[in-house]
Amino acid sequence: MSVPKLAVWKLASCDGCQLTLLDCEDELLSVAAKVEIAYFLEASSFKGRGPYDLSLIEGSVTTEEDLHRVQHIRRVSKHVVTIGACATAGGIQALRNFADVREFISVVYARPDYIATLEHSTPVSAHVAVDFELRGCPIDKRQLLEVLSAFLAGRRPVIPEESVCVECKERGNPCVMVAHGTPCLGPVTQAGCGALCPAFNRGCFGCFGPLRSANAATLAGLPGVTRTFSDFQEAR
C-alpha cells in the first residue's frame, strides 16, 4: 500500500489551527511516519503534487480566489476535513455577514481600493462537500490526532457531541456559573477543549461552536446570566 498523502491548506484564518498540527511535536513524528506530508506551507515550502488522500483546510472563504481554491482542493482530495471555527463556521471574519463589508473596509484600510473581498465570510461546506468538520478556535490537539488516526484507520472519528459542561464535570471543575456567578457559554457549546477556561475559573467563550441541541435563548434569558452578562458589559 502506498503511503497516504496529506495536504494542509490555508484560507482566511490566523494560522492557529495549522499550528496545532505543528504543536503535536512528539506525535508529529508518528504522523510523518504514517503519511507523506505532501503540502503544508506552514511547515515546508515543498509543494508535493496531488491528488491527496486527506486535505485539512483551515480558514473561511472570503475571496473569489479562495472560492476557486476550495473547488480545486475538493477535486484533488479523496477526503476533505475542515479544521477550526473559520473553516467550519466562517470565523470571526464572518462578523461582516451581519454588517456592510464595504463600511468595514473603509474604516480599517488606508487604501480600500486595494481590497478585493467577498460580501460574506463562509465555511468551506457552503461551497464543496466536506467529509468531517473539526471544531475549535483553535482546534484541540487530541481531537486533531483522533481525526487523523480515524481517517488513516478508515473509521469514524470519535468526537463527542456533548456540552462543555460534561468535560467540565469530568475534569472536576467547580461550575463557575453556579459557584461564582461568572457567565459561561459551556452549556450551549460543544465540548472539545477539555473545559479549559472553567478550569482556570473563567467562563467558556464558546470556541467550539454551538451544541447541536443548544438552547441559547434560555441561557441568555436566565435572570442570573442576563445580570452577569450586563454587569460584565458595564464593567468593561
Residues that bind ligand SF4 (CB under 6 A): 164-165, 168-169, 173, 175-177, 184, 186-187, 195, 198, 204
User: Helix H segments across 77-221?
Assistant: 84-89, 101-108, 141-153, 164-171, 176-180, 196-199, 216-221
Choose which of 145, 194, 202, 210 interacts with other proteins (CB under 8 A). 145
Cβ-proximal residues to 139 (8 Å cutoff; 6+ apart), any chain: 17, 20, 83, 84, 192
Shortest distance, position 177 Cβ to ligand SF4, whole Å = 4
Choose which of 4, 14, 19, 27 interacts with other proteins (CB under 8 A). 27
- The reply on whether position 20 binds other proteins by CB under 8 A is no
Selection from 35, 49, 60, 46 nearest residue 145 by Cα: 35
Taking the mean position of all CA atoms in its chain, how far away is CA 138? Answer: 6
- The reply on whether position 226 binds other proteins by CB under 8 A is no
Taking the mean position of all CA atoms in its chain, how far away is CA 91? Answer: 8
Gap between the Cα atoms of 192 and 225, Å rounded: 23
Q: Which does 195 bind (CB under 5 to 8 A by kind): other proteins, ligand SF4, none?
A: ligand SF4
CB of 39 closer than 8 Å to CB of 48: yes
Q: Which does 220 bind (CB under 5 to 8 A by kind): other proteins, ligand SF4, none?
A: none
Nearer to ligand SF4 by C-beta: 115 or 175? 175
Shortest distance, position 85 Cβ to ligand SF4, whole Å = 18
ω before 112 within 30° of 0 (cis)? Answer: no
Subset of residues 71 to 110 that bind other proteins, contact rule: CB under 8 A: none
Cβ-proximal residues to 141 (8 Å cutoff; 6+ apart), any chain: 20, 23, 24, 27
Selection from 67, 62, 69 nearest residue 97 by Cα: 62
Shortest distance, position 86 Cβ to other proteins, whole Å = 24
Nearer to other proteins by C-beta: 71 or 201? 201
- Judged by the rule CB under 8 A, the positions of this chain that interact with other proteins are 27, 30-31, 33-34, 145-146, 148-150, 152-153, 155, 158, 160-163, 165-166, 169-170, 172-175, 177-181, 184, 186-188, 201, 211-215, 218-219, 222, 224-225
